[in-house]
């Protein structure tokens, strides 16, 4: 009887997922209406995970295997002074972000997998440093998740500042869904918030909870690899990988539980159910979810006047299907999906530069500039 009960749950869950799949099927662009061209501006990159734009128009790019590149005037220069990077599976040198007042203080923030600390293996760390010539100086470790693990999955690891100057970062559940995401005394499967110098804000939700990790801002996450500030509301939005189905977009809220793995719209990679619940009291619903999974990575809001048809939209990369997805929003809801850059490669990141242009980081290709047609 137990076998047939599990089989029935799997069938019902698959039916539910298919209904969502039909409802949210992404549409390919009409070739006659494509209103942009693409240009590879930084070629020959392997896995360009993060990118940040310096005031002089040059670019910092992280390669996952552990190289920080400064691209300026058509030349790539490797930056020295990085900490030891633990490269395993999805772990390595990951995101990079400038301080909102970078012109005044010069701080650069980056996330990486580190073997420092308790246990064998590695876990996600956050560091800040300054760029002097072709080297990082004044390196300061701001946060190190623990304990380490030899598992190669789910390091998270996006960075974003909010309007008040707090730094948010994501750390995935490290493929330990049964222990990490729902336990606030443990790192991993969380969104964190700290001051720009690593101090814990006094109004973080769990600062007075015994044994809790004080930097946690929200929990119940799986593997968030997209993070962006909503330019209209100032809210921090993340998207995160589901298992087989159930990638999510979530609007982060203080102290909230986003459910993983107690509730999910996904199933195990084997096709068996994780849970029969997609909702539960005390757990947040996603703003949007994908079935099937697109394996989202990188996220930005379009605010530039250069792309009038896309202004106000969210862009997210798809690793699995190798395209950039445009999500049109109305009243905070996704009402339309469209493929961009279809078939160009695994889109690891998407950023809008200070000059208003959009740049996508494609694995095995490089940094691609999206030029609107005149």
Active site residues: 154
Q: What is the DSSP code (8-state) at residue 31?
A: G
Sequence-ordered alpha helix ranges (H) in 31-150: 102-105
Residue 18's alpha-carbon distances to 15, 24, 291, 335, in angstroms, are: 5, 10, 7, 18
Question: Helix or strand or coil: residue 21?
Answer: helix
Quick count: other Cβ atoms within 10 Å of Cβ 230? 15
* Element spanning 330, H or E: strand 323-330
Residue 360 tokens, joined:
């996508």
* Element spanning 17, H or E: helix 2-23
Q: What is the DSSP code (8-state) at residue 276?
A: S
Per the CB < 8 A criterion, the answer to whether 278 and 265 are in contact is: yes
Rounded Cα–Cα distance for residues 93 and 169 (Å): 14
Rounded Cα–Cα distance for residues 155 and 85 (Å): 13
Angle at 173 between CA 172 and CA 176, to 5 degrees: 155
| Burial 8-44, CB ≥16 within 10 A → b, else e | eebeebbeebeebeeeeebeebeeeeeebeeeeebee
Torsion of CA 186, 138, 106, 87, to 10 degrees: -50
Per the CB < 8 A criterion, the answer to whether 248 and 239 are in contact is: yes
Residue 263 tokens, joined:
């509730």
Residue 129 tokens, joined:
């440093």
* Element spanning 103, H or E: helix 102-105
């Amino acid at each position: 009887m137990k076998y047939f009960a599990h089989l029935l749950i799997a069938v019902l869950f698959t039916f539910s997922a298919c209904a969502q799949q039909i409802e949210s099927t992404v549409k390919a662009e009409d070739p006659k209406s494509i209103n942009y061209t693409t240009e590879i501006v930084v070629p020959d990159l392997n896995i360009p995970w993060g990118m940040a734009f310096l005031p002089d128009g040059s670019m910092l790019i992280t390669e996952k295997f552990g190289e920080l590149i400064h691209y300026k005037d058509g030349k790539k220069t490797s930056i020295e002074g990085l900490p030891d990077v633990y490269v395993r599976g999805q772990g390595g040198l990951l995101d990079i972000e400038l301080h909102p007042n970078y012109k005044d203080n010069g701080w650069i923030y980056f996330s990486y997998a580190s073997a420092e600390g308790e246990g064998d293996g590695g876990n996600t760390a956050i560091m800040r440093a300054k760029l002097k010539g072709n080297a990082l100086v004044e390196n300061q470790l701001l946060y190190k998740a623990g304990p380490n693990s030899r598992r190669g999955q789910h390091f998270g690891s996006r960075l974003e500042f909010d309007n008040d100057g707090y730094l948010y970062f994501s750390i995935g559940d490290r493929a330990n869904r049964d222990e990490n995401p729902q336990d606030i005394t443990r790192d991993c499967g969380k969104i964190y918030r700290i001051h720009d110098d690593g101090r814990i804000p006094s109004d973080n939700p769990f600062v007075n909870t015994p044994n809790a990790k004080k930097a946690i801002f929200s929990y119940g996450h799986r593997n968030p690899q997209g993070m962006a500030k909503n330019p209209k509301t100032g809210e921090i939005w993340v998207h995160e990988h589901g298992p087989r189905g159930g990638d999510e977009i979530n609007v982060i809220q203080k102290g909230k539980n986003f459910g993983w793995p107690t509730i999910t719209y996904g199933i195990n990679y084997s096709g068996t159910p994780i849970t029969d619940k997609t909702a539960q009291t005390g757990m947040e619903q996603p703003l949007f979810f994908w079935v099937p999974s697109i394996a989202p990575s990188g996220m930005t809001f379009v605010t530039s006047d250069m792309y009038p048809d896309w202004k106000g939209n969210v862009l997210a990369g798809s690793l699995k299907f190798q395209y950039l997805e445009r999500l049109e929003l109305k009243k905070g809801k996704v009402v339309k999906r469209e493929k961009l850059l279809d078939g160009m490669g695994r889109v690891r990141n998407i950023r809008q530069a200070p000059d208003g242009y959009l740049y996508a980081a494609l694995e095995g290709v490089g940094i691609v500039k999206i030029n609107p047609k005149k």
